[in-house]
Amino acid sequence: MRDVILTLKTVFGNFHYASIAAIISLATFVISVWLRNFRLLVEVFGSAAIPLSDKLSLFTKILAGAGSSVGLFSFLLIILTSVLFGVNASLIVYYFARKRNLPKKEGIAAAGGLAGGILGIGCASCGSFILTSLLASFGASGALAFFPLGGAEFGILGVFLLTTSIFLICKNIPSAAVCVEKN
């Protein structure tokens, strides 16, 4: 665990990688909040009767009301997923910068963490937004009602996968600069 903390300090002590994490975290948060209001945004931007200034101010108003439009647990889950997503992406960039070919198991963990984070964006009352949309395409969105948390389990799974991915990448970064000759 000490190696993981040391690696996180090393990576995020570099302004470049801290900036990557912050930008990706913020972008993930903004996109996940806007995705929750996708239909409203499409309808407002599709209307010729609404002035452009009102259309653009809707983006900031949606962000300002993000915490009040979902429950506390869901809001914290969105924030946590966004931060972990940014940290994971930045660590992957750092890892690739140090070692060009990612070992298979870490590549799978990183991809699983990022995919879990993307699928887990949603809230406890309506479930995962993206997963619900995918399942609705197949007529299976009602199946989320059978989950005890109404689909928030996917958000929790996303946090778990992202945390696992971060842990695995951090454990492998110190050895990333060491070239191993393959026969």
Q: In tens digits, what is the pLDDT along the chain, a chain of 183 residues?
A: 888 899 899 999 999 999 999 999 999 988 888 887 888 888 888 888 989 898 889 888 888 887 776 778 888 888 898 999 899 999 888 888 887 654 555 555 555 555 555 555 544 334 444 444 444 444 444 555 566 666 677 778 878 888 888 888 888 887 755 555 554
Query: What SS3 state is found at 71?
Result: coil
Whole-structure pTM value: 0.68
Where helices occur in the chain by DSSP H, the ranges are 2-12, 15-36, 38-46, 52-64, 66-69, 72-98, 104-119, 129-137, 152-172
The full set of domain ranges for the chain reads 2-172
